[in-house]
Amino acid sequence: MAQGSSVKLDDYREVAPRGAVDFLLRIGERLRGRRLVHVSASRYAGPVVETLNRLVPILNDLGVDTSWEVTIGGADFDTVTRSVGRALAGTEQVITEGMLGRLRDTCADNARRLRLDADLVVVHDAGPLLVVESRGSAGRWVWAHHGDLSSAQTQVWSALRPSAQRYDAAVFSLPKFAGPLSIPRFVIHPSVDPLSDRNREMTRGEQMLQLDRLHVLRDKPILLQVGPFDRMGDALGVVNAYRLVKKHHDVRLVLAGPPPTPGGGDALGEVQETASRDPDLSVIVLPPDPQAELNALERAAAVVVHKPLETDFGIDVAAAMWKGKPVIGSAAGGIPFQIPQGVTGYVVETVEGAAFRIRHLLNNPELIGRMGAAGREHVRRHFLLTRHLASYLALLAHLTG
């Protein structure tokens, strides 16, 4: 199985829609020799990083000279970046002039240090946003904001908006996430990489090994939610839905998520307390970079639940659908966009709604298979890395002529 940076574009022929790879080769030919630079605030965590890890080598394979630059700063820079990110996502934060000044200075330092001479510079998210202040006249600049900017904290957005306006275009994950900007705005949905450890095919033995390591029993149908153990993740809501289901079906609930982050509003203790009284409820705090673990968990699940109260695009939904699982999702962020109602899963508004839909699926096992298959096809068409790659190439072609 192809893994890591050794993956070639041709490896995607087996999983991508027919013609997709040829289309990429054709458009790549046209853009051969152009230079593209991605700039992000981290190289280690998050969906953007996962995507860039794979996109950058493939773009180079296609002949597009692509590099990935990472901004660096002190510990306080990281703190400011996180706070600004949360403020832009709509969570009230205290952002002082001093903090914005620190952000500005660090971005200016990075602009001097980084190699940003390119036909197209794509700056990802809020951390490096202000690097654009030092842009030259050559090349086009795009700001790709992956979260929801529609309810950004006014004071912070007012301070950053003039800088955002200095870009030639902005990219958002969904139309409803777009911020008010007078520059051209494009929509590029996130994607799942079908050949990554998280999503690649897995042998039964490998799957069992991972589940054993996580102490997940397989004697009953498994309901799974993957998400942070904070208030917004609504793990307790999922537990309540599970309890309603449990009255009628003998199932297990597995809640898996990363360790709580500072300031994230920890609900882990409460969930663990609840789990300690129920042998069919497992709470798994995932290790760092839990790609294979998540792959095994999603493959073992009968139904995947993704019921956060707030989220960004929520690409985990597509990741579960790629494994042929129906998904019960909340009407938050990009989740409804990924689940055609009643076709690949259900979008629900309440705990009761989630329980009702889970019961409906468990009562109709053939529906689980049918929805799972439809979900995989839906992801193949709309949320695979190859489509993401095509979008970036189209952006490069469109903006650089």
Which residues bind to another protein, rule: CB under 8 A?
A: 17, 172, 175-176, 178, 184-188, 336, 340-344, 374, 377-378, 380-381, 390-391, 394-395, 398
In the complex, the smallest distance separating the C-beta of residue 127 from another protein, rounded to whole angstroms, is 24
In the complex, the smallest distance separating the C-beta of residue 347 from another protein, rounded to whole angstroms, is 8
Q: From CA 122, how far away is CA 36, in angstroms rounded?
A: 8
Q: Supply 264's token pair.
A: 């994230």
Q: From CA 91, how far away is CA 147, in angstroms rounded?
A: 12
Q: Which of 72/367 has CB closer to another protein?
A: 367
Q: From CA 240, how far away is CA 256, in angstroms rounded?
A: 16
Q: Which of 194/257 has CB closer to another protein?
A: 194
**How many C-beta atoms surround the C-beta of residue 184 within 10 A?**
13
Q: Which of 175/259 has CB closer to another protein?
A: 175
Region for residue 146 given its phi and psi (left: phi exceeds 0; alpha: psi -120 to 50; beta: otherwise): alpha
Q: Which of 1/187 has CB closer to another protein?
A: 187
Contact 139, 117 (CB under 8 A): yes
In the complex, the smallest distance separating the C-beta of residue 385 from another protein, rounded to whole angstroms, is 15
Q: Which of 77/337 has CB closer to another protein?
A: 337
Q: Which of 134/391 has CB closer to another protein?
A: 391
Contact 282, 271 (CB under 8 A): no
Contact 84, 156 (CB under 8 A): yes
In the complex, the smallest distance separating the C-beta of residue 16 from another protein, rounded to whole angstroms, is 13
In the complex, the smallest distance separating the C-beta of residue 367 from another protein, rounded to whole angstroms, is 12
Contact 126, 83 (CB under 8 A): no
Count CA atoms within 13 Å of residue 115 on its CB side.
7
Q: Could you identify the residue written with the tokens 């022929």?
A: 13
In the complex, the smallest distance separating the C-beta of residue 272 from another protein, rounded to whole angstroms, is 35
Which residue from 379, 342, 378 is spatially nearest to 361, judged by alpha carbons? 342
In the complex, the smallest distance separating the C-beta of residue 278 from another protein, rounded to whole angstroms, is 33
In the complex, the smallest distance separating the C-beta of residue 311 from another protein, rounded to whole angstroms, is 15
In the complex, the smallest distance separating the C-beta of residue 220 from another protein, rounded to whole angstroms, is 29
Q: Which of 119/230 has CB closer to another protein?
A: 119
Question: Which residues lie across from 225 on neighbouring strands?
Answer: 255, 305
Give the DSSP letter string of 261-277: PTTS-B-HHHHHHHHHT
SS3 (DSSP) at 143: strand
Q: Which of 52/188 has CB closer to another protein?
A: 188
Q: From CA 400, how far away is CA 395, in angstroms rounded?
A: 8
Q: Which of 142/362 has CB closer to another protein?
A: 142
Print burial letters for 1-21: b (CB count within 10 Å at least 16), e (below 16): eeeeeebebebbeebbeeebb
